[in-house]
Amino acid sequence: MASTIQIRVDDDLKLKSDNLFRELGTDTTTAIRIFLTQAVANNGFPFEIKKTIQNPYIPLSEEDFLNKLALSRKHAEQGKVRDADEVISDMRAKYGI
């Protein structure tokens, strides 16, 4: 017995995936079967899924820097401060540094 799976996708995504799979010599239905088969064989997604962590050290414009500095001063005036060791520990854990 076979089951039917119905999904809704954006028309543009369907068209692009149909074209891609046709170029690869298959169709979208077969590609979905391959995905499901590999997911079961791998006991999870058959590819890596990860959240990209944005680099916290990207350069800032002078205006952005001054805005962040002003916000920091405002927080300090309100008592919203943290110990530097705690911040460094959090950054090491979060960004693997």
Residues 6 or more apart from 28 whose CB is under 8 A from it?
14, 17, 18, 21
By the 8 A CB rule, do 69 and 30 touch?
no
Q: Quick one: pLDDT at residue 94?
A: 83
Residue 69 pLDDT level (bands cut at 50, 70, 90)? very high
Q: Quick one: pLDDT at residue 52?
A: 73
User: 22 exposed, middle or buried (CB, 10 Å; 0-12, 13-18, 19+)?
Assistant: exposed
Residue 44 pLDDT level (bands cut at 50, 70, 90)? very high
Q: Quick one: pLDDT at residue 15?
A: 95
Q: How far apart are CA 68 and CA 62, in angstroms?
A: 10
Residues 6 or more apart from 24 whose CB is under 8 A from it?
31
Q: Quick one: pLDDT at residue 57?
A: 75
